[in-house]
Chain A
Amino acid sequence: MFFLQLRNELWKLFGKKRTYIGFVMFLLAQNIIALVFKFTHASSPMKRMLESAGHAADPFISGLTIATIMLVPVAVFLLPLYVSLVGGDLVAKEAEDGTLRMILSRPISRGRLLAVKWLAGAIFGVVLCVALGVFGLAFAGLYFPWGGLFVWMPEQNIFGVFGANSGLWRYLAAHVMLTTEAVSIMALAFMFSCFNVKPAAATILGLSLVFVSFILEHIPYFADYRDWFFTYHLHLWQLVFADRAPWWRVGQSLSLLAGFNATFFAIGLAVFHTRDIKS
């Protein structure tokens, strides 16, 4: 029954046109970025940086490098927007449309209903990350040759140069880690969706908290306290591009994100459980 109900949630989720906004925008953004790199001199600073570090530049101006460059802004700005949109809709939209009242006239418990919905939202987050990775490689591959991976992420003090195979594995690992960001932000918006608010409000509240955390994390004077900020742990996918990935830090962030997710779900469930569902 649980899997049937989960399948139904996925039907509902992927039956809506707005669910696909994220996929379409990824296509658009990644194509634009790849085209700008292809038809301008935007890759020149990269070449200079590689050459000054003693590497031949051309093997690293590759589809893999461009796909990874595209990943950073999309993961920081677009991904939170689309997972938050879906997370904020999951309960609040059904309450607004009146279908929640139809569902809750059935013998399903509120806890189980939320678990099924949360899981559907998490699956959406994973699918979105997979699409992001596949689209990125596909579109960068259209305009650039296959080759090594060059990564420069000054915020994380990462300057990495990898062979094609090693680079591809890191690219895939980064997307696996990125799913934790997608699921966590979805879970935050989902928590607000369980409150008696409109779907747009749930999405905006979720995104607002992410932005507030991001702002706090980037105030230089708060550097000593950044472990406490939600977004600091969301960036763990960037760590796999380090020469020697700090696995202790990855583990720490993963466990904290698991805690954040459990807390968001527990708060959402507690609020939803006490709510009166009326027309």
Chain B
Amino acid sequence: MTKRFGTRVAVDELTLAVPRGEIFGLLGHNGAGKSTAIGMMLGQVWPTAGTVCVCGHDVQRQRRLALAKVGAIFETPACYDYLSGGRNLEIFCQYTAPVSRERLREVVDWVGLGTRIDSRVQTYSHGMRARLALAQALLPRPELLILDEPADGLDPEGMHELRQTILRLHAELGLTLLLSSHLLGEVEQICTRIAVLRQGRMVFEGPLAAAKQSRNWVRLVTDDFVAATQDLEAAGLIGGARDGRYVALTPGVATCAIARRLVESGRPVHELAREEQTLESFYLELMRAGGEEAAGRGDQHPSPLKSENRCPKSE
């Protein structure tokens, strides 16, 4: 899908599939197009081109079917402050379907709002508002939960609670979660799969593990790093170097081969250790490099929607 606002392209030919059961992270800097993409998924923003299918239904043409099993939470939990929490839940839920008292009580207990549900929302703390927003999203028994920057404005305890809640939702209720964020630490701890947007374009999509291991970086400390990397590159053992102390191993090359080559060349090796790439370093590399190369490397599970511009029957 593509979205243009005037001449500005907010989302540029984004093709994305969120597999059932994943905790999917949508990453990108501010203005990368994450919220616009989510807006299109929820039928709030009209795509300039392309279609969005949720739970097998076209959001634009079959809105009722597509969004019947979807819950959403946005960065700032917006509620009717002058009404009670319970009344807010009834109001929001009845835009999907009527809700029973028992279901309401069940969800309120699940999110931990307890007796405060009958108080006016204007008396709630930020954390309680976040719980109320979660409750309204859970009431219609969703299969897919979309969270747009849910950690914005939360304190460390709030972020910890949110992280635990997301993991509970996944484990206990079996929900598929789509989470947009620019808080890489949070995403790294909870997501199973990620997509990275940069200026509206997707520059990576794949499992989190693939992102973190997308390059075999090795930390190398030697007397002359530049000369050593030239030697290793000439021997075809590494594919690149960065920061004056990291080398990227050519696929299939083991660390011992590097050590042997350096020793045979008479270069002292003070330190040689495999470096697991953090999501942050991977993300920053994508942002710096423009991402074309990483996108090719990371897109290990091609989207089922790539070749056809229509909704599949299932998923």
- Residues of A participating in the B interface, judged by any CB pair closer than 8 Å: 1, 4-5, 8, 11-12, 15-17, 97-99, 101-109, 113, 274, 276-279
Contacts and interface: CB of A to CB of B under 8 A. Distances in A.
B42 interface: yes
A98 B146 contact: no
A14 B182 CA distance: 39
Which of A5, A8, A11, A113 has the most chain B CB within a 10 Å cutoff?
Answer: A8
B94 A98 contact: no
Interface stretch (B65-73, B110-118, B157-165, B284-292): B65-73
A107 B96 contact: yes
20 contacts: A4-B98, A5-B94, A12-B91, A97-B78, A98-B74, A98-B76, A98-B78, A99-B78, A99-B79, A102-B72, A102-B79, A102-B133, A103-B92, A103-B95, A105-B74, A107-B66, A109-B63, A113-B95, A278-B45, A279-B75
A179 B64 CA distance: 35
A8 B94 CA distance: 8
B246 to A, nearest CB: 39
Nearest to B57: A107
A15 B121 CA distance: 12
Top 5 A-B residue pairs of the complex, sorted by shortest distance between their CB atoms: A98-B78, A106-B95, A105-B72, A107-B67, A277-B44
B83 A102 contact: no
B45 A276 contact: yes
B274 interface: no
Interface of B: 5, 35-36, 39, 42-46, 63-68, 70-72, 74-76, 78-80, 82-83, 87, 90-92, 94-98, 133, 136, 146, 148
Contacts of B92: 102-103, 106
Contacts of B46: 274, 276
Contacts of B5: 276
A15 B80 contact: yes
A102 B147 CA distance: 12
Contacts of B91: 8, 11-12
B273 to A, nearest CB: 44
Contacts of A105: 42, 44, 67, 70-72, 74, 146
A276 B67 contact: no
A107 B36 contact: no
B82 A17 contact: yes
Contacts of B67: 105-107
B296 to A, nearest CB: 32
B98 A1 contact: yes
Nearest to B92: A102
A279 B74 contact: yes
A131 B280 CA distance: 63
Contact of B44 (A1, A15, A107, A276): A276
Given A5-B94, A12-B83, A99-B79, A107 B63 contact: yes
Contacts of A278: 35-36, 39, 44-45
Contact of A101 (B36, B66, B74, B87): B74
A257 B246 CA distance: 76
Contacts of B94: 1, 4-5, 8
A98 B39 CA distance: 13
B65 to A, nearest CB: 8
Nearest to A276: B45
B48 to A, nearest CB: 10
Contacts of A276: 5, 39, 44-46
A158 to B, nearest CB: 43
A55 B80 CA distance: 57
B82 A107 contact: no
A279 B35 CA distance: 9
Given A98-B78, A99-B80, A107 B39 contact: no
B96 A12 contact: no
Contacts of A16: 82
B2 to A, nearest CB: 13
Nearest to A105: B72
A104 B92 CA distance: 10
